[in-house]
Chains A and B, each alone.
Chain A
């Protein structure tokens, strides 16, 4: 049975505290960097997200990047947004990705194109993230395309991921929407980067109240913030994220800001691990992938467990 399942899913089902990483594909036609990063994360992360033209900037495609990760011996989580493809292209890509051996899919609505380097592009958003989740699930469970037509054989059987943002507004609605995603078919969640642990805990309380942690695996998003400058920048300029002042001050006052950044991240992971209902952490060290091993080690996440019935792969 388990050979059909992704390593990620198997680990969740074994009850492990799962660790995932993230790689942002380059703005070039060279996969070397992705392979290097995948090598780097090997043995420290159980699977790796490949972003889909994040912030609407043209990059090497997430599925192609996933292929580089597979070649490097890692396990990819393909991100799929609704911004650039209609339901025809999305389903076609789902078939393609699965045929290449990718088994994890993270469904997102996607950043609006106005944030990227092609702000004059057409707005696709044929479906939204919830409809996308439902579509991937129906392909798997009902063996049908979105139009209802049967998939006669070899349907894609993705382990379906979704995102949740405990820091966007309106606060209560965030949990309803998460539940809606679960109803649509989401099996695991990665949250937006958490800096405000207090708000995250309040959100998890609501999640537990509705029993959502028992219906899907929840991974908390963390990010090592390299310097006080970066933290201050994010505080001001990145929407949908709350960066507390204490963190900025702590980084500013540190002798070695990078060491402090690791320290903060490790503390967060240790804290998060104790919160009931959290099944893993998603470490987003985009641009600073080389730090992930030391975070994983200091946070006591090593060694990474084996997935029963799956040949050892890591990444």
Chain B
């Protein structure tokens, strides 16, 4: 899933300071699971903003709604009336949701309430880790199902570098992923695979090649 985190409250307060009636829009997918932008977080942020503004002479009216997915038009169609009422929409979805909202409601100012962090999962209650680097060409079959692109600080494809100490990465307090790859390959009896030199990666399939677009004519229905 996409992992996101709420922006500092002060930042959100500043971005919304010029509006009197806002729609806080949550998303029921990833950001609900990572406790950043679901129905509950919408309620908390709305109350927080209201309380802040009530202390001044410009109280804030909040509208609250949480849709199934902000990254799909049909769910945004459902809030058309609500959006009409508000001066601006505070999207509590990932960057994808924010942009879908902005595109769907072109005359509305849209404010992101979250910082989108990574594609990963929850390894423990309250801990989310990055897992996928979205590089566009999966090599997990070569590395025992452990991704060096996303999880090595230097995205080394022939690791580990000299900074691996006691299974930890020298850059951050995270596991050295090449240490894990080796352990896993050894356990699976595939050490010889790691002696193969992995050639330079084709980064054009990643973001480096420009914005990506996937077209599947096989599923398109003509109108």
Contact = CB atoms under 8 A, between A and B. Distances in A.
Chains A and B in contact, CB within 8 Å: yes
Interface of A: 82-83, 87, 109-112, 114-115, 123, 125-131, 134-135, 146, 163, 165, 168-170, 173, 176-177, 179-180, 183-184, 192, 239-240
Given A114-B171, A123-B155, A125-B155, A130 B197 contact: yes
Contacts of A165: 162
B197 A168 contact: no
A169 B165 contact: yes
A83 B154 CA distance: 8
A169 B166 contact: yes
A169 B157 contact: no
Contact of B199 (A115, A131, A183, A239): A131
A146 B200 contact: yes
Nearest to A183: B197
Contact of B158 (A114, A131, A168): A131
A134 B199 contact: yes
B26 interface: no
Given A114-B171, A134-B197, A184-B197, A129 B161 contact: yes
B163 interface: yes
B155, B162, B163, B200: most-surrounded residue (chain A CB, <10 A): B162
Nearest to A127: B200
B162 A135 contact: no
B129 to A, nearest CB: 18
Contacts of B136: none
A180 B156 contact: no
Given A112-B163, A125-B154, A169-B160, 8 more contacts: A111-B163, A123-B153, A131-B157, A146-B200, A169-B176, A170-B183, A177-B160, A192-B162
Q: Which 6 A-B pairs have the closest CB atoms?
A: A165-B162, A130-B158, A128-B156, A112-B171, A239-B170, A125-B154
B183 to A, nearest CB: 8
B164 A169 contact: yes
A168 B199 contact: no
25 contacts: A109-B156, A109-B161, A109-B162, A123-B154, A128-B154, A128-B157, A128-B158, A128-B161, A130-B158, A131-B158, A131-B198, A131-B200, A134-B199, A168-B165, A169-B165, A170-B164, A173-B179, A173-B182, A176-B194, A177-B159, A179-B195, A180-B158, A180-B197, A240-B163, A240-B170
A205 B177 CA distance: 27
B145 interface: no
Interface of B: 153-167, 170-172, 176, 178-179, 182-183, 191, 194-195, 197-200, 203
Nearest to B178: A173
A170 B180 CA distance: 10
A240 B158 contact: no
A170 B187 CA distance: 14
A252 to B, nearest CB: 25
Contacts of A146: 200
A184 B166 CA distance: 27
B154 A170 contact: no
Contacts of B166: 169
Given A112-B154, A131-B199, A131-B200, A169 B194 contact: no
Contacts of B172: 114
Contacts of B156: 109, 125, 128-129
Contacts of B203: 126
A112 B172 CA distance: 10
Nearest to B160: A173
A52 to B, nearest CB: 15
Contact of B195 (A114, A170, A176): A176
B195 A168 contact: no
Contacts of A129: 156, 158, 161
A123, A125, A163: most-surrounded residue (chain B CB, <10 A): A125
A148 to B, nearest CB: 11
A111 B159 CA distance: 14
Contact of A168 (B160, B171, B182, B198): B160
B163 A168 contact: yes
A240 B162 contact: yes
B44 to A, nearest CB: 31
A170 B194 CA distance: 14
A111 B197 CA distance: 21
Contacts of B199: 131, 134
A127 B157 CA distance: 8
